[in-house]
Structure 1
Amino acid sequence: MHHTTMVVNGVLRVVIIAAFAVLVACVTWQVFSRYVLGTPSTVTDEMARFLFIWVALLGGAYTLGQRRHLAIDLLSSTSTGLRKRVVDLLIITAIAGFAGVVMIYGGLDLVARTLKTGQVSPALRLPMGYVYIAIPFAGSAMLYYCVIFLIDLLRTGRGPTEQLGPTAPGGPLD
């Protein structure tokens, strides 16, 4: 599982870094073309919006996997023993349910319907289903991390909001 988690982390990191680099280039060109050349680029404007969607969704999934996602851990941090494990299990189940039903199932349905209708973006003429595929992709990563969290909870009792050490699998240096 540790090797698979490293691969998932690595793939997410590469895609996020590449998308963010292109996003910065698009925004820089957009500002330059608008204020220096006097003619804003519609292509880079649209591309930046789509890349921002991908960076936000995949960044959220990656952050969840690193156990650094924004969390309100009042119930989990004030509970102990069996009650804490039940609360952590409910948290993992809620995240997995959202990722599975809304992001994967609903996202795949959205992608299929959008591709079926042939909807394309105005400037890039890109099928919108390609843009929306970020939703089930991020949901799949989140669901994977939830499985890892569940295994970790059952093995060690560590919940999804508890930080890992720097050398632990899935930790900050992973």
Structure 2
Amino acid sequence: MRKSVDAILRWAIIAIFTVLVACVVWQVASRFIFGTPSTVTDELARFLFMWVALIGGAYTLGQGRHLAIDLLPMTLTGTRKLLLELLILALICAFAGVVMIYGGSLLVMKTLASGQVTPSLQIPMGYVYGAIPFSGAVMIFYCLTFAADLLNGKRPQIESISAGPLS
């Protein structure tokens, strides 16, 4: 199931980023070539950037490529290392649950209830803010799969940083 979620997120990020780039290119062209900037693409680009950043952050967590200070976990072994890794996952889960899902859902509901719409696109602002609880749910999914792997004696299947182009 995790590979399916990875693939869906990967393609969603690619699609959103493609539309984002097209919006920005059109914005530049309409401003400098035609002399009339497009307010619709400007607004759409801002909202797509929010979505791609939040979904990208959740996806990065799932790939094990997020920024981390791992000095302490690298010095521990055995049960202590396992407990620390589970504690870290629990803290990430708590943040994603309380701040992103609970707080983000309240923000989405309040914004939808107020009827606030975006100035140019005229879409409900709650849809824009929907990226927050969605990304929180994805983060919790990844934390739970990593915790299950750890409790079953397996190392979570994540990409190694050393496999990247900087190694």
**TM exceeds 0.5?**
yes
Paired positions, count: 163
User: Superposition pairs for residues 69-80 of structure 1, below 5 Å?
Assistant: 69-80=66-77
Structure 1 pair 10–162 and aligned structure 2 pair: CA distance change class (3 A): closer
In 2, Cα distance between the equivalents of 1:162 and 1:80?
21
1:97 aligns with 2:94: yes
Could you say which residue in structure 2 is the equivalent of 1:147? 144
In 1, Cα distance between the equivalents of 2:63 and 2:3?
11
Contact 2:55/2:135 (<8 A) preserved: yes
Could you say which residue in structure 2 is the equivalent of 1:53? 50
How far the C-alpha of 1:157 sits from its partner, in A, is 5.4
Could you say which residue in structure 2 is the equivalent of 1:44? 41
Deviation track 1:44-75 (CA, whole Å, cap 9, x = no partner) reads 00000000000000001111111111111111
Contact 2:89/2:147 (<8 A) preserved: yes
1:31 aligns with 2:17: no
Contact 2:63/2:158 (<8 A) preserved: no
**Ranges of 4+ aligned residues in structure 1 off by more than 6 Å:** 159-162
Structure 1 pair 27–153 and aligned structure 2 pair: CA distance change class (3 A): same
Structure 1 pair 158–151 and aligned structure 2 pair: CA distance change class (3 A): same
| TM-score for the superposition, normalised by structure 2 | 0.91
Amino acid at match of 1:101: V
- For the aligned residue pairs, the C-alpha RMSD in angstroms reads 2.0
Structure 2 residue matching 1:156: 3-state secondary structure? coil
How far the C-alpha of 1:163 sits from its partner, in A, is 3.5
In 2, Cα distance between the equivalents of 1:89 and 1:162?
19
Question: Percent of aligned pairs with the same residue?
Answer: 62
Contact 1:85/1:159 (<8 A) preserved: no
Match of 2:129 among 107, 129, 132: 132
How far the C-alpha of 1:77 sits from its partner, in A, is 1.0
In 1, Cα distance between the equivalents of 2:5 and 2:151?
21
| TM-score for the superposition, normalised by structure 1 | 0.88
Deviation track 1:80-113 (CA, whole Å, cap 9, x = no partner) reads 1121111111110011001111111111111000
Contact 2:62/2:158 (<8 A) preserved: no
Could you say which residue in structure 1 is the equivalent of 2:107? 110
How far the C-alpha of 1:24 sits from its partner, in A, is 0.2
In 2, Cα distance between the equivalents of 1:115 and 1:18?
26
In 2, Cα distance between the equivalents of 1:160 and 1:105?
28
Structure 1 pair 80–100 and aligned structure 2 pair: CA distance change class (3 A): same
How far the C-alpha of 1:78 sits from its partner, in A, is 1.3
Amino acid at match of 1:150: A
Contact 1:110/1:132 (<8 A) preserved: yes
